[in-house]
A and B are shown apart, each in its own frame.
Chain A
Amino acid sequence: MGEEIKVIVFKLGTEEYGIEVEKVQTIERLMPITRVPKTYAFVKGVINLRGVVIPVIDLRGRFNLPEVEPTEQTRIIIVAVNEMQVGFIVDSASDVVDLNSDSIDLPPEVVGGIKAKYLRGVAKLSEDRLLVMLNLAEVLNKSEIVQLEGLEE
């Protein structure tokens, strides 16, 4: 038997994604972001989260999805991985669900345009509801970003 885990559910487009709740520090409404010049295109800048300066990245941009204008539902999910604090801009964050880790299946090659290496797996919440679990360590892997940038140039 796998363990029960709590997962924060957020949306990019129509797809639903999940991050383990213990990796999420807080979820904030969109706030003023200070642009940081000469950095990756998907880094939107830095925010002041109660006295701490935190970089914010657009998760759509990170996954090479088309970027959209922010709406009332747009949220910043602040995650902490490997002592790094980073904010993710997502289309909306709505739900917390309980999940059994056994119900997470290996991801298919590509889900909604996101490469499998960024994914931990896919969980079936109900018959017509799939949740894509993110592999945060890979999403925040900088060496890989450096390579990506190098390719684009």
Chain B
Amino acid sequence: MDMNQYLSMFIDESNDHLQSLNENMLQLESSPDDLGIVQVIFRSAHTLKGMAATMGFEDLASLTHQMENVLDLVRNEKLTMQDYIFDTLFKSLDALESMVQDIVQGGEGKADVSSIVASLQAIERGEGAAAASSGSTPVQETSTPAAEGIELDEFQFSVLNQSIAEGHQVVYIQVRLRDDCQLKAVRAYMVFELLERAGEIVKTFPDVQEIEQGEFEQGFSLYFITQKDAGDLQSQILNISEVDTAQVITLDHESLEQMAMRSTAAAETAAGLAAAPESPAVSLQPVKASESVTPAPKPQAKASGTPAPSRTIRVDIERLDVLMNLFSELLIDRSRLEQLAHDAKNQELTDTVEHMSRVSSDLQNIVLKLRMVPVDTVFNRFPRMVRDLAKSLDKKIDLVITGAETELDRTVIDEIGDPLVHLLRNSVDHGIEPTADRIAAGKDETGTVNLRAFHSGNHVFIEIEDDGRGIIRENIIRSAISKGVVTEDQAAAMSDSEAHQLLFAPGFSTAEKISDVSGRGVGLDVVKSKINALGGNVTIYSTPGKGTNFSVQLPLTLSIIAAMLIKMGSEKFAIPLSSIVETGIVKQGQIRTVHGIRMIPFRDSHIPIISLSKVFNISDFDETEEIETEIVVIRKGERLAALAIDDFIGQSEIVLKSLGKYLPAVQGVSGATILGDGQVALILDPNAFIK
């Protein structure tokens, strides 16, 4: 069968499942007793295994199979989650991820997973069994799905009862063979032979004949009378190859009676079959049994919510891009129509065009929304990353994510991942102090890193805040001076917040020693330039001893922006509204020259005025010939400047277009747009005008 057509679906779904595995594992790590989560994890692993096997990715399937085995033990409470099990499972997830990546890149998805499989098997067999046998004293066993209660007739019941009275041991044994066991009948026979040497089998389920013909699921159970110790029996049974688990439960009068009653009552009580030998309290068991049952429905509801949160379809991203481009074209035509209708002064035409404008702005909203992706798609890999980092640095760190549902344009999402990883690593590595330091400083030994996303106006803010040591001004300044980023005089004049911004200066890295985590020589300046390239901004707020906050401001979308159109003689330009503070008019007389820089009074201070016609060599306009000049006050961060211009045309939604690959970057121009009359107008980059 040709699987290629299913491959992309397989990859998408595998990634979803891996993601959910990762998330749920982290959740489980914080509350290891929640069996509901184990159920969800188990189901994901199981689905993944099935898909991988169908597609013929055997390594993938076999690794998930082993994970499933371990999880099965956990979910049946035969194994309690411990740190090393988490680590092994996380390692397995990593291996799975790299295999899926390999498949994405056209590989076969093959990888050497033998060591991970071996350690999983160790957990499952050796360690798992040890845990089970050591825990067999207060065992609180739920039966395996295959086992149903064994019905005892009166005769058998009295035999067992009598044996107990005579001081024999009556045990209930439940054996489960490994899922991949080939010769079930043979293994069962070996178990029987072993037991028959040690005592007498009273009753089995299924029947002996059925068992000998291999007609049973993975497990079978039996009542057994013996003189031997239950623990010995169990380890002997486990010594038989391909036996997955064996439970040996010693029965007394009460538990026998209870068990017989239950088993005769109904099959559903299988879960209640569990009999704790040393627990005489009959009433205790149903309670415990119900405990282990009740959590299940909750996560089930959750689980059914995750794979199908709403009625959605997967759409190729390229198609959305095409839709976006087509829509941009429409927007250009709309502006053109508006202009024509305005010129033609035909009422009916004007009405129609107005209606079309309204419809198209609704359409614009929808098209933009289609491209919006929750930041969660970037955030979701962070908990795992922070966990691993914290572990490798031997720190305790809580990552608290809020606002993961905040939406951003896909183009921004694609680009924002790496800078955020860098900032997070920075917080974990440099921000949060080592545990000892935290305790010495009287802080909670577990550090907290807050990752917040939220909307504000036309922007989305992403904040990374840690409660670590904060930024110590002296350290930065010393480091900056030694690296030649600033001079001592400059440094002395800096305010605290200006000093903090030095972190973003090129060639600056505070990491005193290069660690594995951050400080690889790629400084925060890369983060800043990347975010600036996205039309965003990043600022630092820090209080020494209290922590540091990196605030990243991002535009909602990169493809359509609101802009002010201006005229310079015969040429037209667009200035992004986001960087315009205000517009106004100055008289020539108001312009003063300070230290050779032309300044104008603005609000309570003076700001430089820049001649756009000189910067861009515009031939048919010169503001110095005017008595009054229109200005646009623009800003870059806190700093302001005025651009002297010819005239305002108006505000408009413009579609960003690149200038093409051939032209080198032009200083002061960030791109181009197409106006209503079909002409190209350049978009000014206000950042370039303020040094």
Q: Which residues of A contact B (CB under 8 A)?
A: 32, 34-39, 43, 45-48, 51-55, 57, 83-86, 140, 142
Contacts and interface: CB of A to CB of B under 8 A. Distances in A.
Contacts of B328: 51
B660 A84 contact: yes
Most A CB within 10 A of own CB, among B325, B657, B660: B660
Contacts of A32: 678-679
Contacts of B668: 37-38
B347 interface: no
Given A37-B616, A38-B668, A53-B672, A48 B660 contact: no
A86 B661 CA distance: 9
Contacts of A37: 615-618, 666, 668-669
Contacts of A34: 571, 672, 679-682
A84 B666 CA distance: 17
B659 to A, nearest CB: 6
Given A48-B674, A51-B674, A36 B662 contact: no
A45 B660 CA distance: 11
A43 B666 CA distance: 12
B658 A53 contact: yes
B571 A36 contact: no
Contacts of A45: 680
A147 to B, nearest CB: 13
A100 B528 CA distance: 55
Given A37-B616, A38-B668, A47 B660 contact: no
B680 A53 contact: yes
A52 B663 CA distance: 14
A55 B325 contact: no
Which label, helix, strand, loop or mixed, suits the secondary structure of the A interface? Answer: strand
Contacts of B661: 83-85
A52 B662 CA distance: 14
B664 interface: yes
Contacts of B290: none
B662 A86 contact: yes
B259 to A, nearest CB: 75
Nearest to A145: B664
Interface string B311-337: 000000000000001001100100000
Contacts of B54: none
Given A34-B571, A36-B666, A53-B680, A46 B659 contact: yes
Contacts of B679: 32, 34, 48
A19 B151 CA distance: 91
Given A37-B616, A48-B678, A53 B325 contact: no
B156 interface: no
A86 to B, nearest CB: 5
Contacts of B617: 37-38
A38 B659 CA distance: 14
Contacts of A57: 662
B667 interface: yes
A46 B660 contact: yes
A51 B682 contact: no
B689 to A, nearest CB: 13
23 contacts: A32-B678, A34-B672, A34-B679, A34-B681, A36-B663, A37-B617, A37-B618, A37-B669, A38-B616, A38-B667, A38-B668, A39-B666, A46-B660, A51-B328, A52-B657, A53-B657, A53-B659, A54-B660, A57-B662, A85-B660, A85-B662, A86-B660, A142-B664
Nearest to A82: B661
B37 to A, nearest CB: 49
Most A CB within 10 A of own CB, among B617, B663, B674: B663
A20 B188 CA distance: 79
Contacts of B657: 52-53
A47 B675 CA distance: 12
A38 B669 CA distance: 10
Contacts of B666: 36-39
A84 B662 contact: yes
Contacts of A142: 662, 664
A39 B571 CA distance: 16
Contacts of A140: 662
A43 B660 CA distance: 13
A47 B680 contact: yes
Nearest to B661: A84
Contacts of B663: 36, 39, 43, 46, 55
A39 B664 contact: yes
A87 B682 CA distance: 18
A56 to B, nearest CB: 10
Most B CB within 10 A of own CB, among A38, A45, A54: A38
Interface string B641-666: 00000000000000001111111101
Given A38-B666, A39-B664, A55-B659, 11 more contacts: A35-B571, A36-B666, A37-B666, A39-B663, A53-B680, A55-B662, A55-B663, A84-B662, A85-B660, A85-B661, A86-B660
Given A43-B663, A142-B662, A36 B669 contact: yes
B672 A51 contact: no
A116 B675 CA distance: 41
A86 B678 CA distance: 18
B662 A48 contact: no
Interface in B601-638: 615-618
Given A46-B672, A51-B328, A51-B332, A36 B659 contact: yes
A51 B336 CA distance: 13
Contacts of A38: 616-617, 666-668
Nearest to B326: A51
Most B CB within 10 A of own CB, among A35, A37, A39, A85: A37
Contacts of B667: 38
B669 A53 contact: no
A51 B325 contact: yes
Contacts of A48: 674, 678-680
Interface string B554-579: 00000000000000000100000000
